[in-house]
Copies of this chain bind each other. A is one copy, B any other.
Amino acid sequence: MARVVVVYFSSMGHTEAVAESVLRGLRRVDGVEAEAIRVQDIDEAAWSRLDDADAIVFGSPTYMGSVAAEFKAFMDKSGTRWYERAWMDKLAAGFTVGGGLSGDKQSTLIVMQTYASQHGMIWVSMGIGVREPELDRLSSSIGLMCQAGNAPADETPPREDHATAEAFGGRVGAAAVRWLRGSGSDS
């Protein structure tokens, strides 16, 4: 089984709802075992599951043009893994939620992508929407972008964004299965 962990921060619940949609998409893929972990809940057991993962999906709202400070604290804490190259060659992907249609969500994804590169990870791009006009409302490419207003998380982001999140989860899951199979170690 390819193990995928979605690790995210959410304050108002919008990013958490997107994380759940990504998780749903991941779980639809044959051969994928997925879970979601909030950065606030990471204990030693959770770090171990991250270390054991074949792919990690990062998620954070966009605050002031980058990941939330709470998510950055998780990134900094992973510095010991960086030094040990513990996440080397894992797959990585990312998503973010912001209030604007464009906003500075792309710079948040660039921060995540740079972070994954520091760990020596392999980045799975969005890859959805160019030929599926009903998906990827915001036309993102590095990772998943969703846009949420001030309403509660069951109203916003809109359905289309959640459908895109599920498709994105499916894509990351399929890549994880392929990457694990390619290693020859999945028996």
Contacts and interface: CB of A to CB of B under 8 A. Distances in A.
Interface residues of A, number: 66
A64 B115 contact: yes
Given A120-B126, A130-B83, A115 B65 contact: yes
B122 A123 contact: yes
A140 interface: yes
Copies of this subunit: 4
Nearest to A129: B100
A111 B65 contact: yes
A175 interface: yes
Interface in A10-40: none
Contacts of A76: 63-64, 68-69
A110 B114 CA distance: 9
A156 interface: no
Interface in A57-103: 63-69, 72-73, 75-76, 78-79, 82-83, 85, 88-89, 91, 98-103
Interface of A: 63-69, 72-73, 75-76, 78-79, 82-83, 85, 88-89, 91, 98-107, 110-111, 113-128, 130-131, 137-143, 145, 175, 177-184
